[in-house]
Amino acid sequence: MTAPKPHALDGLDDRLRALGEQHAWPAYRGRQVRQGLFGRRAADWQAMTDLPQSMRQTLDAELTLWSARILRHDRAEDGAEKLLLHLEQGGEIECVLLRGHSGSRTLCLSTQVGCAMGCVFCASGLDGVERNLTTGEIVEQILRLQLLLGPDERISHIVVMGMGEPLANLDRLLPALDEVHRDDGLGISQRRITISTVGLPEAIDRLAHHPANYRLAISLHAPNDALRNELVPINRRVGLRDILAAADRYFAASGRRLTYEYVLLADVNDRPEHARELATLLADREALLNVIPYNAVAELPYRTPSLDRQQKFRAILEARGVHVRFRHRKGDQIDAACGQLRRAYRQTSDTSRQTSDTSRQTSDTSRRTSDTSRRTSDTSRRTSDPAPS
């Protein structure tokens, strides 16, 4: 059996350089390939018609461009689109394109298959982590989602808020983000790229030394260690004090205001005393608090607080001068969050291994059409929060 072809998007420059040396391509050919992939949105090697046919054939023979298979593609009424991808190297992940009212086009990316952090309310980590994604698999999500855009649309923001803990896979994530940040990549400003983390101090310090200053969002979810230990189990090993100290160092080094995320769970972390404690914690910090009313996950016991409760929480914070962004729900419909689509898929595929992928996918899609817009638009709410630019 022949070894699988390497993934072109995993160290693209090195791969092109190696092939170029082997086949005596002039240096500008590498730039053309980058332009084809990032700028012209080529759907495959053959679509790069400015390259000689022989070069396209070599690329085709030597490098895999798409290593993932689309298992599902959902589109919501508000324009959000979500892909469930099966990866050649194993596992399923989700990634999302969000269309904002103001014309923003935000991509939400995954960094791991599953997640090891164990946040008790989150669907992504219910089965633990399987593996880190490769740089190529992260860049592929970006290019796949970019192919969904119309000719007049451009990616404006990237948020690393899909499945997985980004700071547990920093070595693969940073080259992927640098690829899109580079001028000869997608040229997206570092201010418009946000990494969301559960809060791993050492990795935050590493990130602070990275040449590009990406925005950092820290998932707080509780104003004290006792509660955070319950909701975010990794906290038992880290603790709020060290996380906030690392966050302060990141702010000092990058000059970028941080975002703190707070998933609001009814009767768990939404009481007035929680709001007051949170305000004290953030009082002297140059920070934005992003409160996300919980997106209920079917198998989990947590609930979304009522609107009234959400408003009270907000009022306490605002009265104390915290800069809050808060998304009130229009309806009280309960939706699925990122990670749940994969879960639903796995449960179906466990019971129907014999069924061919295509028929499963088709029947699934039609069965779930009514669900889909609800589900996808909800993911948008959770991630509809790219850093202001």
Query: Could you say which of 98, 238, 263, 279 contacts ligand SAH (CB under 6 A)?
Result: 263
How many alpha carbons lie under 13 Å from residue 201 in its C-beta half-sphere?
13
Q: Which of 240, 337, 344, 387 binds ligand SAH (CB under 6 A)?
A: 337
Site string for ligand SAH, 140-169 (x = CB under 6 A): ---------------------x---x----
Q: Is 260 in the site for ligand SAH (CB under 6 A)?
A: no
- 3-class secondary structure for 158-216? EEECCCCCHHHHHHHHHHHHHHHHCCCCCCCCHHHEEEEECCCHHHHHHHHCCCCCCEE
Confirm or reject binding of residue 344 to ligand SAH (CB under 6 A): no
**121 near ligand SAH, judged by CB under 6 A:** yes
User: 67 vs 295, which CB is nearer to ligand SAH?
Assistant: 295
| Cβ neighbours of residue 222 closer than 8 Å, sequence gap 6 or more | 228, 230, 231, 232, 235, 269, 274
338 catalytic? Reply is: yes
When asked if residue 222 is in the footprint of ligand SAH (CB under 6 A), the reply is no
Looking at the chain, how many residues does it have? 389
CB 55 within 8 A of CB 25: yes
How are beta strands 112-114 and 129-132 bridged, if at all?
Answer: antiparallel
Identify whether the C-beta of residue 107 lies closer than 8 Å to the C-beta of residue 157.
yes
Among residues 65 and 338, whose Cβ is nearest to ligand SAH?
A: 338
Residue 259 lies near ligand SAH (rule: CB under 6 A) = no
Place of tokens 């298979």: 69
Judged by CB under 6 A, the stretch of 58-66, 136-144, 241-249, 288-296 that binds ligand SAH is: 288-296
Task: Identify which of residues 135 and 295 has a Cβ nearer to ligand SAH in the complex.
Answer: 295
Token pair listed for 241: 């004090």
Q: Tokens 């952090």 label which residue?
A: 117
Nearer Cβ to ligand SAH (19/107):
107
Residue 19 or residue 173: which is nearer to ligand SAH going by CB?
173
Shortest separation between residue 58's beta carbon and ligand SAH, angstroms: 39
Chosen residue from 382, 384, 385, 386 binding ligand SAH by CB under 6 A: 382
Local structure of 331: helix, strand or coil: coil
Q: Assess whether 108 carries a catalytic annotation.
A: no
Q: Which residues contact 92 (CB under 8 A, 6 or more apart)?
A: 71, 84, 85, 86, 113, 342, 345, 346
Choosing from 81, 92, 94, 140, which is the catalytic residue?
Answer: 94
- Binding positions for ligand SAH, rule: CB under 6 A: 117, 119, 121-122, 161, 165, 196-198, 219, 261, 263, 292, 294-295, 297, 337, 382
